[in-house]
Amino acid sequence: MSGKNLLLFFTLCYFITGCSNDKYMNLSIVSTTQHHLENIELSEERSRSLGKIEGSDSRFWLTLLPLGFAPTPYEAIDDALSKTQGGYLRKVVVQRKSFHLLLFGWDTFQVFGQGYRFPSSDTPVSPASESSPTQENVSPTPSIQNEDEDEIILD
């Protein structure tokens, strides 16, 4: 192989491997706000459907220098929910995509799912109620379900 053909071969290999599109994770249900889940019935009949929604979080690269913070699935989910003021997503697919050339590049997380609003009887947990614990919102000692018996073992 001549030097010119070898250079062309490596250049083509570089451009072919410069792109990726991966399914990062599948989630059944996800929300970025805190709620008292014991008071919520998450049935599709009681929650208001918002249809299919999507969100993303991206970062650009310029000559090996990242411009901005690293993209995260959390921010992509938050972006999807904030567009429609949704409460949670069902049947969620998170994809990670990247594209890089010699001088610039791009990384992103994209989220696709069915958006829902929580039933109107539920309100998000406010930061004030989290800082001063009451009997209702104090989390109990973590518990483990014993598979052989129906008793709960507290740690």
pLDDT for residue 152:
40
* Mean pLDDT comparison of 8-12, 74-78, 117-121, highest-scoring range: 74-78
In a domain, 112, yes or no: yes
Compute φ and ψ for 49, nearest 5 degrees.
-75, 140
In a domain, 15, yes or no: no
pLDDT for residue 142:
38
pLDDT, averaged across the chain: 75
pLDDT score of 138 more than 80 = no
pLDDT for residue 44:
62
**pTM beyond 0.85, yes or no:** no
| pLDDT tens readout for residues 29-57 | 888 888 766 666 666 667 788 999 999 99
Of 2-6, 16-20, 73-77, 96-100, the poorest mean pLDDT is in: 16-20
In a domain, 11, yes or no: no
Question: Whole-angstrom distance between the N-terminal and C-terminal Cα of the chain?
Answer: 68
Residue 26, amino acid: N
Total domains, the chain: 1
Q: How far is CA 93 from CA 20, 27, 72, in A?
A: 16, 7, 14
**Confidence category of residue 20, pLDDT binned at 50, 70, 90:** confident
In a domain, 115, yes or no: yes
In a domain, 43, yes or no: no
Between 56 and 21, name the one with better pLDDT. Answer: 56
Residue range of the domain that includes 113: 22-33+49-119
In a domain, 63, yes or no: yes
**Confidence category of residue 130, pLDDT binned at 50, 70, 90:** very low
Count of CB atoms within 10 A of residue 76's CB?
A: 24
Q: Taking a C-beta distance cutoff of 8 angstroms, is the pair 111, 73 a contact?
A: yes
In a domain, 5, yes or no: no
In a domain, 129, yes or no: no
Q: Taking a C-beta distance cutoff of 8 angstroms, is the pair 154, 143 a contact?
A: yes
**Confidence category of residue 18, pLDDT binned at 50, 70, 90:** low
pLDDT for residue 131:
44
